[in-house]
Amino acid sequence: MGLDILYPTAGDPPTTPTVDLILIHGLHGDAIKSWTNPETKAFWPRDFLPLDIPQARVFTFGYDADAVFGSTTANIVDHAKDLLSSLVDEREEEPEITRPIIFIAHSLGGIIAKQAPVATVSCHNLPFSVPFPKNLDFVGRDVVLKDLQRILFHTPGLQHAAVFGLGGVGKTQVALRIAYWVKDNRPDHSVFWVSALSHAAFEQSYCGIMNEAGLQRDDAEDPKQTVRRHLNSDKAGPWFLIIDNVDDQDIAYTINNYLPHGESGRILFTTRAKTVAISLAGSNYINLLEMSSTESKSFFKSAIHQKELLENESGVDDLLQHLTHLPLAIRQASAYINENEIGIADYLQLFNNDPRNRAELIGSNFLDKTRKREDNALSITWHLSFDQISKTDATAIRLLEFIACIEPKAIPRSILAVKGSTDPQILRALGTLCGYSFLSKRDGDVYDMHSLVYTAVELWVGERSDRETQEMLRG
């Protein structure tokens, strides 16, 4: 069943196809037997077509023709959508996308081939509920995007995946890219975006799905249950659900209670916490790291307005190195340079001369249409994570306070002790900080803290100390 390639396969000589031939059998037919000579057993699409048209890729599409016979038009539409979805899988990139297709169909197969373009048109009316425009400055992340497409869309049935990583590393942007990829390449899928920044944001997002899907609200039923029940039903059709910023473990528990489990669904989570990624997606998680130097340079070039600044290639490389190739840091620095009309050398001088300047630079806010947060400053992004950790792991916070007083690189495990904490508590705290990507572990029980995180920790610890002092004075 489905779309099978007959030529070329692994044993065939290399070729550069210029056309795709799709053979679709008819009533009571079969993807193999319908095209096979019963006497000679010659399978002509495989045995003869490549000899006459060596520049063609040859496929057969199989479906349950006996089940279709005598049933409703809906079954034919379903098979047409299956054909469409299979073709999309085989034609994801250039030059496949623009390669001509020729259908060779028999009886009912011709109706299915004719219905496929109609199914494409009907898909344009499906909900696409995403709160951000397409990010035209998005670059790179090709391996991550391919992995997510494979996990979510190349295996039948309900699939979960999660992207976790340091705040500002670009998790939401990757999810946004996948959302628009689904819109373009899986036109039979509804797409819904859910914010998990808070319990209220989660509930509001589910109410939004109700409106987009045209669901009638029952005052006696929780809207989240209404959405869950709808997405579990066949009526919903194929769907893709993105649940963004699941950073709080309590919210993750709530989300788990309202996750749909319909077999036609795909769910992608983004989170800063590895523990949340594992609890929601099992082993299907991806640790999103900083950009490569090539990706970060391309991203910076697209974000900077004064293109003449890019002529200083060594300065650009130096700046990106200081920004650790972190997308949000690059976006923030380019916004500061654009707004203040300064050069790269001027920004680097501010960044390097005084730790207070550096703290102010990573604390500067800027507008980003592809992010929901009102505060996009790098330090604010991480301070939210510090506050989150303080609710669940006091030992991890005390370790942060200690590390803020020492050098952030090559920290031996032996000096990371907190008075009154047990060894298991220390190990859990280190796991928490590594899970948020604030610390990274080398071989031999040695840890490093991300240089920009270190600046944010110093700033956060100072503000926290000031607040505690003021509370003591008031008390």
CATH number of domain containing 276:
3.40.50.300
Examine the fold and report which residue of 125, 155, 176 is the final residue of a domain before the chain moves on. Answer: 125
pLDDT at 74: 46
The rounded distance, in Å, linking the Cα atoms of 98 and 76 is 26
366 belongs to a structural domain: no
Examine the fold and report which residue of 235, 269, 287 is the final residue of a domain before the chain moves on. Answer: 287
pLDDT at 467: 62
The CATH number of the domain where 416 resides is what?
Answer: 1.10.10.10
pLDDT at 279: 93
373 belongs to a structural domain: no
The rounded distance, in Å, linking the Cα atoms of 30 and 43 is 12
pLDDT at 380: 75
- Give the pair of three-digit tokens for residue 424: 């298991």
Q: What pairing do the DSSP bridges indicate for beta strands 128-129 and 56-62?
A: unpaired
pLDDT at 192: 97
Residues 396 and 443 in one domain: yes
Q: pLDDT for 63-72, tens place per residue?
A: 887 655 554 4
188 belongs to a structural domain: yes
Comparing CA positions, the residue from 244, 194, 198 lying closest to residue 224 is: 194
Residues 312 and 276 in one domain: no
Residues 137 and 112 in one domain: no
Residues 162 and 245 in one domain: yes
- Asked if residue 267 lies in contact with residue 237, where contact means CB atoms within 8 angstroms, the answer is no
pLDDT at 16: 86
Q: Identify the domain containing residue 271 by its residue range.
A: 128-287
Residues 182 and 311 in one domain: no
Residue segments in the chain with a per-residue pLDDT below the cut of 50: 71-74, 121, 473
363 belongs to a structural domain: no
pLDDT at 271: 96
The rounded distance, in Å, linking the Cα atoms of 130 and 154 is 23
Examine the fold and report which residue of 110, 125, 140 is the final residue of a domain before the chain moves on. Answer: 125
Residues 85 and 177 in one domain: no
- Asked if residue 143 lies in contact with residue 206, where contact means CB atoms within 8 angstroms, the answer is no
365 belongs to a structural domain: no
Residues 268 and 305 in one domain: no
Q: What are phi and psi of 449, to 5 degrees?
A: -110, 135
- Asked if residue 380 lies in contact with residue 368, where contact means CB atoms within 8 angstroms, the answer is no
371 belongs to a structural domain: no
Residues 235 and 136 in one domain: yes
Residues 108 and 147 in one domain: no
Residues 257 and 157 in one domain: yes
Sign of the Cα pseudo-torsion (408, 411, 415, 421, in order): positive
369 belongs to a structural domain: no
Residues 157 and 270 in one domain: yes
pLDDT at 120: 55
Q: Is 74 left (phi over 0), alpha (psi -120 to 50) or beta?
A: alpha
Q: How many helices (H) and strands (E) does the chain have?
A: 20, 13
pLDDT at 368: 65
Residues 133 and 217 in one domain: yes
195 belongs to a structural domain: yes
pLDDT at 28: 83
Q: How many domains does the chain have?
A: 4
pTM: 0.74
pLDDT at 157: 83
